[in-house]
Homo-oligomer: A and B are copies of this chain.
C-alpha cells in the first residue's frame, strides 16, 4: 500500500479543525511535500468554504506537479461520516451546524474527480499510525486520542472499524463510573472522557485540591484556570498531589483498556494528543493498571505506545492516510 511505486505519488490531507483548516500534500513515506492553511470559519455556505480551500490548494498542487500527481484526498473532521463523506450537525462549524454537508463530494467535484474520503479525527489518527507511524505492520490496535475530549480509532484485521452506521469507535464514552459519575458533555454520567481528557485531568485537579489540605504547587494557581499541562509540570517537579492526579488518570485508562482487550485483543494501545507529552507520568500508570486489571490470558501481551507521528503535522498526516485507502 505504501511502499509500492505509484503513478500518482501523492495524497492530499486536510485537518479540518474548528479554527484552522490545514492542508498537506504527502508522499507514500509520510513526507509532507507542501503545506498551506486557511481559516475554517467566516463562511455561511459550505460551497464558499470549499472555494476558498481550493484556491489555497491549487498553489501547492501546482508546486508538486499538478492534479495529475494526486491519487486522492483524505479529510479528518469533527462529526465526519465515512460512509457518506458528509459532515453532520457539527456544532462548531458555521457552514455545517444545522445540516448534512456532502463535503467529500464537493471537494472531489472541484479537484478533477479524484476520490475524496472523510472521517473523524481519531479514525484519521489510527490510519495515520498504520500508514506512517508506530502501527506499521500491525493488524489489530487501538488509538486513543487524549485531547479536549477522548476519542478513538480502532483497527481490526487491518481495517478501521466503522460499524453499521459509521459511528463506531466512541471509546471516550464507555461508562467507567456507574454510581455518582461526573456529568459528561454527551449528557450521560461517568464516561471515560470526563476523567481522562485534558479537561478531565483539570477537573480531577480541582477535586483533589478541594478534598484535602495537602500542600501542592497547584495551590498557587486559580483553580478555575488549572490545565492538564500545569498538572504535568507540577508533577515533573515532584509535586506529590499532581503525581497522584496522573496516577488516577492512568489507572482509569488502564482499566478501560482492560475492557477493550476483552473486546478486540489488540497488539497495541497507541496514545495520541497533547496529554501524551506527560510521558511516563501517564504511560506507566496506564500500563500498570492494565496488567493489574486485565483478564489473565491478556496480561503482559499488549504494547503501550505513544504516537509516532510528529505532533504538529500528525493530524494532516492522519487525514492524508485516508487517501491511500480509497
The answer, among B174, B263, B293, B301, for a CB contact under 8 Å with A165, is B301
Report yes or no: B296 in contact with A175, Cβ–Cβ below 8 A: no
Question: How many copies of this kind of chain does the complex include?
Answer: 2
The 7 A-B pairs with the shortest beta carbon distances in the complex, nearest first, are A163-B265, A168-B265, A164-B267, A170-B262, A174-B259, A140-B164, A168-B264
**Would you call A224 an interface residue if the criterion is a C-beta within 8 Å of the partner chain's C-beta atoms?**
no
By secondary structure, the A interface counts as loop
Rounded to whole angstroms, the CA-CA distance of A68 and B46 in the bound complex is: 62
Report yes or no: A265 in contact with B178, Cβ–Cβ below 8 A: no
| Seed contacts A156-B157, A186-B295; 14 additional CB < 8 Å A-B pairs | A140-B164, A156-B161, A161-B263, A163-B264, A163-B266, A169-B263, A169-B265, A170-B262, A171-B262, A175-B258, A177-B178, A178-B178, A178-B255, A260-B263
**Would you call A304 an interface residue if the criterion is a C-beta within 8 Å of the partner chain's C-beta atoms?**
no
Rounded to whole angstroms, the CA-CA distance of A177 and B188 in the bound complex is: 18
Rounded to whole angstroms, the CA-CA distance of A186 and B296 in the bound complex is: 8
**Would you call A167 an interface residue if the criterion is a C-beta within 8 Å of the partner chain's C-beta atoms?**
yes
Bitwise, A244-276 to B at CB < 8 A (1) or not (0) is: 000000000001001110111111000000000
Q: Looking at A179, A187, A298, which has the most chain B CB atoms within 10 Å of its CB?
A: A298
Report yes or no: A263 in contact with B154, Cβ–Cβ below 8 A: yes
A87 to chain B, nearest CB (A): 14
Q: Which residues from chain A sit less than 8 Å from chain B, CB to CB?
A: 139-140, 154, 156-157, 159, 161-171, 173-179, 186-188, 255, 258-260, 262-267, 293, 295-298, 301
B-side contacts of A255, CB under 8 Å: 175, 178
Chain B, residue nearest A88 (CB)? B297
Report yes or no: B177 in contact with A263, Cβ–Cβ below 8 A: no
B-side contacts of A170, CB under 8 Å: 262, 265, 295, 297
A139-B164, A186-B295 known; A173 vs B266 contact (CB < 8 Å): no
